[in-house]
Amino acid sequence: MKPPIRIALLCFLALLAAREALAADDPCLLAKPGKLLFEDDFARSEMQPKWAVGKGFWKIKDGVVTAAENPDDHHGAYAFINPNLEYKDVVAEFSFKMDGATDLVLNMRDQRYKGAQAGHILRATIMPKKYQLADMKLGGMKWEFYNIRKDPQADPAAKKAVEEQIKDKTVTVPGGLDRATWYQARVEVAGDELLLSIDGKPVAYLKSGGIDHPTKNMLGFSIVGKTASIKNPKFWAATANPDWPSRRAEVARSLAK
């Protein structure tokens, strides 16, 4: 390898390493991480035993998992930590690359909760051009709302009323990700608040009652569309950061720009 090429490659690798180390150097805002609940370096060839795969195609190579929707499923690819783990507030970090996917979703559920479809509690969705945070428990997955939204025979007025009732349970903000670039995501959950940061910068925030669900026990990823890549996921139990109330307004202003 010629010296200029070698230098360029080393610089590129150093940049990637710095980006992945960002989470360790950049303190959390909303939550304070405590006990490490789960981590995976994907240093094996199969998702098992650490993950239970539900749908889609999942493949591990060189410490990276790639996942893609199976068109025959008519549903996004998904996998959850195996076995389930108990948590309430949490800090989740992982590196990702969108590749050809339309959505990369971090899902949190409580399989014992019967008030929402499949126990959905909350989700943080990353898309190439936008980010979305959602309280699923009191929003679109709450059974009384879910059934009306999915019923093709439902009264349009009833559907409109549901959308009005749940509009404050979701926030969508513009983004701009390069599909070929690796990024570092952090999702913080504390009480009824949810914060998504990309490469250490807050990009989306939601405050909603369902986020404060006390008995979450499923945590995993969903991929919609073609392949997305994930590596080095880590999840910590968390507590509320006492400094957050004094910084909330500052973060909100930065998101409003």
Mean pLDDT, the chain, rounded, equals 92
pLDDT in tens, 101-119: 999 999 999 999 999 999 9
| 178 belongs to a structural domain | yes
- How many domains does the structure of the chain reveal? 1
Q: What is the DSSP letter of 216?
A: B
248 vs 257: CA distance, rounded Å: 15
pLDDT bracket for residue 78 (50, 70, 90)? very high
Query: Helix axis angle, 143-150 relative to 156-166, nearest 10°?
Result: 140
Indicate the range of 14-23, 160-169, 189-198 predicted with least confidence: 14-23
| 7 belongs to a structural domain | no
Average pLDDT over residues 234-239: 98
155 vs 243: CA distance, rounded Å: 47
Quick one: pLDDT at residue 217?
A: 96
| 36 belongs to a structural domain | yes
Show the tokens assigned to 61: 């190579």
Q: Determine the structural domain holding residue 232 and report its residue range.
A: 28-256
Indicate the range of 25-29, 38-42, 126-130, 204-208 predicted with least confidence: 25-29
Quick one: pLDDT at residue 3?
A: 57
Quick one: pLDDT at residue 31?
A: 98
185 vs 123: CA distance, rounded Å: 13
Count of Cβ atoms closer than 10 Å to residue 88 Cβ: 18
CATH number at residue 111: 2.60.120.560
Quick one: pLDDT at residue 256?
A: 79
Quick one: pLDDT at residue 18?
A: 43
| 90 belongs to a structural domain | yes
| 233 belongs to a structural domain | yes
Q: What is the DSSP letter of 39?
A: E
pLDDT beyond 80 at 100: yes
| 167 belongs to a structural domain | yes
Quick one: pLDDT at residue 4?
A: 53
Of 107, 138, 124, 75, nearest in space to 218 by CA: 107
| 8 belongs to a structural domain | no
pLDDT in tens, 28-38: 999 999 999 99
Quick one: pLDDT at residue 252?
A: 87
Q: What pTM, to 2 d.p., does this model score?
A: 0.88
| 76 belongs to a structural domain | yes
Quick one: pLDDT at residue 203?
A: 97
pLDDT bracket for residue 196 (50, 70, 90)? very high
Indicate the range of 1-5, 55-59, 175-179 predicted with least confidence: 1-5
